Amino acid sequence: AQSVTQLDSHVSVSEGTPVLLRCNYSSSYSPSLFWYVQHPNKGLQLLLKYTSAATLVKGINGFEAEFKKSETSFHLTKPSAHMSDAAEYFCVVSEGSGTYKYIFGTGTRLKVLA
Amino acid sequence: GAGVSQSPRYKVAKRGQDVALRCDPISGHVSLFWYQQALGQGPEFLTYFQNEAQLDKSGLPSDRFFAERPEGSVSTLKIQRTQQEDSAVYLCASRNSGTDTQYFGPGTRLTVL
């Protein structure tokens, strides 16, 4: 069965410093992996996705993630945090067959300090 | 429409009342999903439709939860005899099969008093 583990429930960074949000996955086959962002009282917005093409995936708002099969990781990074990046971030694995339902991590709340 | 819409955005119910939550998916999306997001948690799968067929309802927490999509477009999630533990945000998503990407609505925040 597929699963994802987000290693940090809260991350705080200063504005202008790098962001690293960690995610490890478990899957019996090559998975589809996603990062979504959820701002307060807003819907989930897709940041980026990995679907077995390039291992380094670039998303919106300067975010990117690298798929590392040997480490079963899909960490999200951004070179320089902006105040508007403060939100909840979810790492997601798609079941990939059958229903293609999403399995979400527990989320990482990113705080950006001025 | 341009995205997935849900109504109402907020619903307050007294314990024991029935509620109905509506989802309008992106036009042309065959697959539709419902998820439940408890406070401080990630969303959890409830049920899945392909067109009008409900192919997976393994995530529905009890027989008080019922979902339908009679014409393969709009879907309704119904909760009978609501309980306090049903308080959560209910998210609807429709899937672009070509890109294996789900697009989410803003959610309905249900509060059961």
C-alpha B29/C-alpha B50 separation (Å) is 9
Tokens at A24, concatenated: 């490890």
pLDDT value at residue B100: 81
**Which chain A residues are within 8 Å of B40, Cβ to Cβ?**
107
Residue of B90, B104, B108, B111 for testing the chain A interface, max A β-carbons within 10 Å? B104
- Is A33 in contact with A47 (CB distance < 8 Å)? no
One-letter amino acid of A13 = V
Q: Look at the block and give the residue holding tokens 């670039």.
A: A58
Tokens at B86, concatenated: 């049903």
Give the angle B26-B31-B35 at the CA atoms, nearest 5°: 90
For residue range A51-108, list pLDDT tens digits in order.
877 889 999 999 999 999 899 999 999 999 999 999 999 999 987 666 788 999 999 9
Q: Do A102 and B91 touch (CB under 8 A)?
A: no
Note down the domain range covering B73. Answer: 5-112
Q: Do B48 and A99 touch (CB under 8 A)?
A: yes
For residue range B77-94, list pLDDT tens digits in order.
999 999 999 999 999 999
Tokens at B26, concatenated: 């992106």
Nearest-CA neighbor of B22 among B56, B57, B73, B96?
B73
Residue of A48, A95, A99, A109 for testing the chain B interface, max B β-carbons within 10 Å? A99
Q: CATH code at B63? A: 2.60.40.10
Domain count across chain B: 1
Domains delineated in chain A? 3-113 (2.60.40.10)
Please give, one letter per residue, the 3-state secondary structure of B10-74: EEEECCCCCEEEEEECCCCCCEEEEEEECCCCCCEEEEEEECCEEEECCCCCCCCEEEECCCCCC
